Each structure stands twice: as structure tokens, then as C-alpha cells.
Amino acid sequence: MKCTRMMCNTRARMARSLSFLAAALPIIVALPALAAVSTDATWKTPDIDGKQVLAVYKGGGKVTVEQAIAWAKQWTGTGRRLHMFKSRDEMWNKAAASSAIRQIALAKAAELKVEEMPGWPIAEKCIEAKALMMLLTDETWAAYTPTKQDIEDFVKENPEMATPPRPTEGPDAKLVEPDFQMPLQNDWVTWQLRGRNHSQVYSPMMQEAEERYPVDCADYETKWLKAEPDDVLIKAGSYSFTDKDIKSLAEIAGKKLEWCAQVVRLGDSGDDYLSLGELAREKGYAKRPEFAEYLKKAKEEWLIAVMKDRMAEEAYSSYTPSEQEIKDYYDNEYKGIQDQLLKCDYIVCPIDYNDPQSNTQAKALAAEIIMKLHQGAKFEDMLKEYPQCRYQEASERSVRPGTSGGFESPAIAGVEAGGIALESAEDFSGHCVIRVLENTPPQKTPLEFCRGQIIHDLASEYKNKTSGDLDGSILKKYDYAVQKSVLAQLSRAKL
């Protein structure tokens, strides 16, 4: 299979890009940001001792005020300053938590000695491609600066978008500190115009990259599953990954990489970074002096993303619910129902399947016996009176009354213990006269029968919860805590 678009096609990407103005903040958060892109020079460092410890976590880890300020300045010192946070407390809490996650992930990489693993040279190829892509797209973004006339025209044509939106009603409005993190109008409009220009430039650039350097993925059934170590499974331009390479990367990731998408997304790189990286290489971006800075940044980002995923995988694999969790889930959430159970024994009126008339004759004979039993005859006596019939010992079966004939029929499923069904059912190579010995109504599945399913459900629930808030799960594991007195000082300091 030739995978030239990986997970997206051109039309989908263009639609996503051109939706910028309709969903500004999510796209802004996803775009690259360096100091060179700044549209707002008013960010000032708070007047506070940067050596103070703002947050601590297990193992002697700490986040200083200085580190939190560096994070906040990077994220809010550009057009991203857009009301990303409703209050100073929210911003500094996010800064401390993000700084802690960065440190924990990089410490994990150092502990595992990732850069000494066999797969590291392969990882460096991925990192290089990511850095080239970042440099290319950042330049595309920063290359455009709207004129004063562009800004005036945009404000005139889009008055509702000219002012950064702020919640003015509802519960969120009460949480917003007046004028906090409000960019100047020109900065806000400049950011939007840059985004619009970037979306117009990016789509054809991406199309060119994928047409010239498509990502070829080996067919899963015929090649991927049967690959030899040196077989190339993924290729894009000068980048190629063999089965051995992918297994080496999997050792770093701490999980199996079983398909192309898992490989190319490793390190949160995106589906198209190999194609864009090759395009950037052709354009000479690898020879630019700033590439070294981008390579360093891409390496850190890649390691942090991979180590976070690895910690998540370790958490999933080590999770075992306690007995109390299992019981609580069974009592309060598990809804599994065990079907109605019938325990019956039978008089079987045999069918000769070589005789077309035998089925009708056996059914009529069964009906005759059922009639006599309801008139008071004894079950055992019928076996003597009808020697051509045979006894079938008791067995259990699940039934769902009313769904169809046979044992599902109300004339059988509805019979109380000790009773004779009014209808026969074909089974055991004949028509059966049915004596119901036990009739157990539908009930909640006993815990011993659904225990495995409950453990599976709890593990899935844990995985979803952990992946939904991976940073929060990691911080909880490391007993992360913010020093409230220092946070209060920082929040009072004006920017």
C-alpha cells in the first residue's frame, strides 16, 4: 500500500487550515512559536525573587519561579497572549505544571539512557525531519507582516473579530480578571492575518511536499507482518525505516509499533513531517545557522513526548484494580444480565432424517405424550408405553423468551419447575417432550462469571482517564504540589 497522505488528504487539510478564523485559539495553540515571531513586546518579567521554589514533586524535583516565568514568557509573550488564561493564578499554575512535566520527562530519558540505546540513531533521523519541518513552517509564518492598510481593512470588514473575545456572561465571566492578558488590538489582528496567510501558503506547500516526497508504507498483510530485519517498511525521500529500525524505536517508546501511523506520530511529530522535512532539506534549510537551535528544540520536544507516552504505557500495563474497586464497579456500574436458565430432562421422539414423513410423525407423537402427561400420566411411565422413544438426561440452556420458537417459546420458557411444556422442541435428533426441573429467571451475572470483564472495563476506564489527562496523571504519580504562598506572591506581581 502506498500511503502518500498517511491519515489526511489534501481537501481535509485545506478545510482544516482555512477554518483558522472560525476557531482561532485551538490553531494558535498548535502553531510553532519562537521569540522572532512575537507581535507584542510589552511582556515584562515580574518583580519577584526567581530562585524561590514554586512547585515540588517526588524525588527532590522542583520548579523555580524563574523557570515558570520562562515558560509563561515563551507562551504568552507573542500573539498567543490572547486571553489563553483567565487569571494570573491560572497562568502560573499552568507554567509550573508544564515546567514540571518537562523536567520529569527529560529525567526519565536520562534515567533510561535513551541516547545510548540502539534505536537512538534512528530517532535522530525523526528528530532531524521534525526540526527541518519546524524551521520551514516557522519561516512561512514569520515571513508575512501585514501592512497598516491590511490591518485597517480587516478591522473594517470584520468588526466582530477585531477585538479579542472575552467571556462577558456565564460562569466563566466571573473568573476573568479585568484586562489580564489582553493583547493590543493590532497585535490580535496581526496574529489572525498571519494565520490566514499561513493557511493559504501551507496547503500548496504541503501538497508539493507530499507529491515529491510521498510517504510509502509497506503493505500490512504481505510485507509488514512478514518483514525480515532489513526490509524497508517506511520510506520518504532520503528517509527510510527498516523492520529492525522500527523495532529499535519501539524499544525507546516502550511499546510495539505495529503500523506506519504509530511510527510517524512518535514524538508528536505529525503525519507529514517526513515529507515536509525533505522539502525543507532540498531548499537548503539544513545549512542555515538557526537549524542547530531548531534541532535542539526538536530533540527536546521529541524526548518529552515519547517519554510521556512511555510513562503512560507503563501505567497502563502495571494497573491492577483492587478487590474493592472490582466490587464497587460490580455493585454500582456493571449491568450485565445472565439469561434465563432452564434445566430440563426430556423424552425424545426420534426423527429418521432419511424419511421425509418422520419429522411430522415425531412431532405428532410428542404432542400425544404431552397431552397424556397433562391429563395426569407419569413421565417415567411414558417411556415404558412408548419404547420407540428414549430418555435424555437433564441439561441447562440459556433462553431469551419470546424472541423465536423452540426453547425460546413462552410455551416452554414460561413453564414453572416441575411442569411439562405445552410444546415440543426439536433437539437431540428428535422432537423433545420437555419436563422443566428448574426455571431461573434473568438475573445480574454473578461476580465470579463477569470478574474478567470487569477487570477489563476498569483497565479501559483507567487508560481513557489517564490518556485524557496525561500530564495530570503523571503529576499525581509524582506527588506534585504547588507552594501556595509563592504562587500568591507571583500572582500579585504585575506583568
pLDDT of residue 176: 65
Maximum separation of any 2 CA atoms in the chain, in Å: 108
The span from the CA of 20 to the CA of 16, in Å, is 7
* DSSP-assigned letter for residue 271: T
pLDDT of residue 137: 87
Q: For each of the domains in the chain, give its residue range(s) and CATH number, in order of start.
A: 10-318+472-492 (no CATH), 337-444 (3.10.50)
3-state secondary structure of 390: strand
13 within 8 A of 22, measured Cβ to Cβ: no
The span from the CA of 325 to the CA of 285, in Å, is 55
First to last CA, the chain: 54
Residue whose C-alpha is closest to residue 215's, from 249, 254, 259: 259
pLDDT of residue 233: 94
121 Cβ neighbours under 8 A, 6+ residues apart: none
Give me the average pLDDT of each 10-residue run along the chain (495 residues): 37 33 31 37 72 94 93 69 70 93 95 95 94 89 86 86 68 64 69 84 89 91 91 92 94 90 83 89 94 94 92 82 93 90 96 95 97 96 96 92 77 93 94 96 90 91 81 90 93 74
pLDDT of residue 10: 32
**What would the grid cell of residue 426 be?**
426439536
pLDDT of residue 404: 63
pLDDT of residue 402: 67
The span from the CA of 110 to the CA of 60, in Å, is 16
pLDDT of residue 295: 95
Q: Is the dihedral of CA 480, 486, 492, 493 positive or negative?
A: negative
Q: How buried is residue 99: exposed, middle or buried, by Cβ count under 10 Å (0-12/13-18/19+)?
A: buried
* DSSP-assigned letter for residue 420: B
pLDDT of residue 11: 31
Residue whose C-alpha is closest to residue 30's, from 108, 111, 84, 90: 84
The span from the CA of 282 to the CA of 51, in Å, is 45
What is the Cα Rg of the chain in Å? 35
The span from the CA of 323 to the CA of 415, in Å, is 39
